[in-house]
Amino acid sequence: MPQGQGGGLPLPRLPQSYPLPQWIRPGLVMIYRDIGGMITKAYLVTDVTATDAYGLEITLMRFPDGSTVIQQQVVPLIQNGAGYFYVNPQAAAEYLKAAPQAAQAGVKITGGPGILAIEEQGQGGKSGFALRFDPNSGVVQQMTAMVKTQKGSTAADFRYQGYDFSPMPSLPDFPPAAREAHSYRIFTAVAGFGGSPGMKVPFGEMRVTPMGVSGRIARYQVVITAQGLPMQRPGFGVPAGGPHYLHPNFLAQGTVYRIAKLSLVSQTAGAGPHGGVLVQTLLGQVPLSVQEFHPQSGLLLYTEESYGTLGKLIGELAQ
């Protein structure tokens, strides 16, 4: 469940709050696929409040050589009435009413029945997204994102593919590692002759620093340094997992998550070489990543992600 950081959708805050429908509950998985069929996103709900939902964003990227790469990060899935897979119709109407005030802050809001679009102007360029949703249930049917800079523009278009459910245990509190600061050394390993692992090459480092816990949401400062250039990002965590930990209850039960519709499973795979428990993520029978966690604290000790013929990205605990 660890890896990555997320900031959520850039929605302005509304003065009032909107309760979540009962069908949004821990264990729910909402699935989307881009129109090219190369990227699949699954949003696994782990924690809900009266108005917000947090959880794991799982991204599967398929490459022309047949390999698949997985990325995972804890993100705010729904906040203040809208998010990646749900829009409260009343909240959408309020966002449209607030368009004049938002424009003064450089945010353009447009839309209509079943449509909500946000465009934000920054120093480096322009970014935005548009959500098409069922005006009755609020389920997002289509999500389009756009980023435009002086160097060019990129866009992504995802369509709803259905839902699944992965059992989520009741977790009373964060594991010990969630409140600790740790650093990791990052390496790359290019496949060698005959498919051998090849030599590890230093790539950079990552530092995770806790910034506080509010209820069941933890916030972190994540600094990734690559080739001497530091880049700071916000990170989020929930009791189930975060940027550098996994709740030990998952290690005891053997399965972190299972998404049958995607043939995707994350499960324990025995003892690891660093004294922890291995967790392997498989797409069908193909391993995508392996991680090792301390069995009591939940601390991430080692991570290895496969990038097909490009090799592997490796992270090792430094302190």
Report how far residue 67's alpha carbon sits from residue 154's, in angstroms, rounded to the nearest whole number. Answer: 23
- Phi/psi for 194 (5° steps) reads 75, 15
Q: Burial of 118 by CB count in 10 Å (0-12 exposed, 13-18 middle, 19+ buried)?
A: buried
pLDDT at 191: 66
**For residue 6, what pLDDT is reported?**
44
What is residue 190's predicted lDDT score, i.e. its pLDDT?
78
Tens-digit pLDDT profile for residues 297-308? 999 999 999 877
Question: What's the whole-number average pLDDT of the chain?
Answer: 89
pLDDT band at 192 (very low <50, low <70, confident <90, very high): low
Q: What is the pTM of this model?
A: 0.91
pLDDT at position 2, please? 45
pLDDT band at 77 (very low <50, low <70, confident <90, very high): very high
pLDDT band at 107 (very low <50, low <70, confident <90, very high): confident
The pLDDT tens digits for 211-254 are 999 889 999 999 999 878 899 989 999 999 999 999 999 999 99
- Domains (range + CATH), the chain: 176-317 (2.50.20)
